Amino acid sequence: MGVNVPRELEDEILSRVPEKSLARFRSVCKQWNTQLVDETFLEQHSSRMDYNYDDYGDQHRIIINNACSRLSSLDMVGPSSASINDISLINRKYPHEMRKRIKVYKIVHCTGLLLCVMDNQLLVWNPMLKETRWVKCGSDFHCFDDAYGLGFVRQSPPPTHRSYKIVRFRCARNDRDRPPRVEVYEFAYNSWKVIADITFDWHLKLPLSNVSLGGNPYWIGLRQNDAFIQSFDFSKERFQPLDQQLPFGYNEHNPIALEAFRGNKLSLLEQCHLTRKISIWVRHLITPWTILMVVTIPHFPMLHQPPPPQVKIRAWLYRSRFSISYFVDRNDETLVVSVFDVGPRSVSIYRVREKEFQRVFVDTAGNSCSYVPSLAHPHGSSMQDTTRIRYRKNRFN
């Protein structure tokens, strides 16, 4: 005999189950499939995963997009090994020749969703659920000049409904001397709008570092040779600096990167170019920075460095394809970080402890992002505008 369990109790039980298992549970019955995509349940589950990060924090991984636009997921397995899994981005129903033409230039992460920047359109994708949404771009679109952020605003009713948005902008400094511009795409209306009356007295730190927290994206900005944390508030549709200064003195030769920590904090990494020492700070949005970890290994490679004069590499390629991604394991003892080698143009992933490190992955140069799976939905059709895909060499003649 079946037992009727109250909906509230079902939600409470299921909210304690990791995302990967819940994704499988959707096929149990229609009721669970509906229940597991409900906005209220998703918010409850997300909050519990953040709160109990020590129990579920082993799902953190790094997504690597190599030079051939092949995406891989790197998962840490045990104390000394890693699992590399190829993840299919483009549906195999598309002809092979068409799939070869599709290039991914940037990837941005927000609550389990990946924003993939391509030649002339965007793809919002949940790798775990294998659900996608294609976003068309206007004639002024350029995959290299523009920076991106993915986030959401909470709307009512219900109070926990997330309305996802994309911000696309270019500062006054860009490779083609194009005028500054800010646009916001709303998933609910499937349309772009230009945000007026925004001026730029700052530009983005290279390589680009982007993270989404609490629905708003954050970057490292530069103003008059000083660095700060810049955010975009989707509810006000305005840029808002979080800090006027970083917790350390800015040095243009020191690699720095921004990530999320335990789901609800910002994390900031700096590496000294002289001693190779790596320092990591964390903070809530309303509290000061505190030091989390210091790694002192004099022979550890530089995480990122500008190309030497003898290595010819265009500025837009340097900016858009090479980035630093990292995360700290749930015991706050091990750092997993990407390293870009400008010589062979390759990206490596290292597992770093206090006095030792191990390289666990290497691939042709590309970009990467730290990623945590979730049940978030891109809320849209997976239909791709295949009529607009062209060879890259013909794109900007």
Is the distance from CB of 359 to CB of 348 less than 8 angstroms?
yes
Distance CA 281, CA 277 (A): 13
| pLDDT value of residue 50 | 57
Give a yes or no: residue 1 inside a domain: no
- 25-39, 146-160, 188-202, 321-335: least confidently modelled range: 25-39
For Cα atoms 294, 298, 302, give the angle at the middle one, nearest 5 degrees: 85
| pLDDT value of residue 389 | 41
CATH code of residue 39: 2.120.10.30
- DSSP structure class, residue 252: T
CA 260 from centre of chain: 9
Give backbone dihedrals phi and psi of 365, rounded to 5 degrees, phi first: -60, 140
> Which residue has better confidence, 204 or 40?
204
Reported confidence tier of residue 238, pLDDT bands at 50, 70, 90: very high
> Mean pLDDT score of the chain, rounded to an integer?
77
Q: Is the C-alpha dihedral spanning 185, 320, 71, 368 positive or negative?
A: negative
Comparing CA positions, the residue from 137, 183, 121 lying closest to residue 384 is 121
| pLDDT value of residue 312 | 54
- 23-27, 161-165, 373-377, 383-387: least confidently modelled range: 383-387
Domain span at 92:
7-391
Give a yes or no: residue 327 inside a domain: yes
**3-state SS assignment for residue 153:** strand
For residue 77, what are the β-bridge partners?
Answer: 81
**What is the length of the chain?**
397
Give a yes or no: residue 29 inside a domain: yes
Q: Count the domains in the chain.
A: 1
> Which residue has better confidence, 96 or 252?
252
Rounded to whole angstroms, the maximal C-alpha distance in the chain is 76
Reported confidence tier of residue 388, pLDDT bands at 50, 70, 90: very low
pLDDT in tens, 133-151: 989 887 677 666 788 999 9
Please provide the distance, in angstroms rounded to a whole number, between the alpha carbons at the two ends of the chain. Answer: 69
Distance CA 234, CA 2 (A): 46
Give a yes or no: residue 397 inside a domain: no
Give a yes or no: residue 313 inside a domain: yes
Give a yes or no: residue 396 inside a domain: no
pLDDT in tens, 177-230: 677 889 999 998 999 999 988 888 888 887 788 899 989 999 999 988 889 999
Q: Is the C-alpha dihedral spanning 249, 273, 372, 366 positive or negative?
A: positive
Does the structure show a pLDDT above 80 at 114?
A: yes
| pLDDT value of residue 95 | 55
Q: Which amino acid is it at 361?
A: F
Residue 388: both structure tokens together:
């607009």
Please state the rounded mean pLDDT for residues 237-250.
Answer: 90
Distance CA 347, CA 337 (A): 10
| pLDDT value of residue 392 | 37
Residue 347: both structure tokens together:
């990206």
For residue 360, what are the β-bridge partners?
Answer: none
Q: Which residue has the tokens 């229609």?
A: 30
| pLDDT value of residue 340 | 73
Give a yes or no: residue 234 inside a domain: yes
Reported confidence tier of residue 244, pLDDT bands at 50, 70, 90: confident
Give a yes or no: residue 2 inside a domain: no
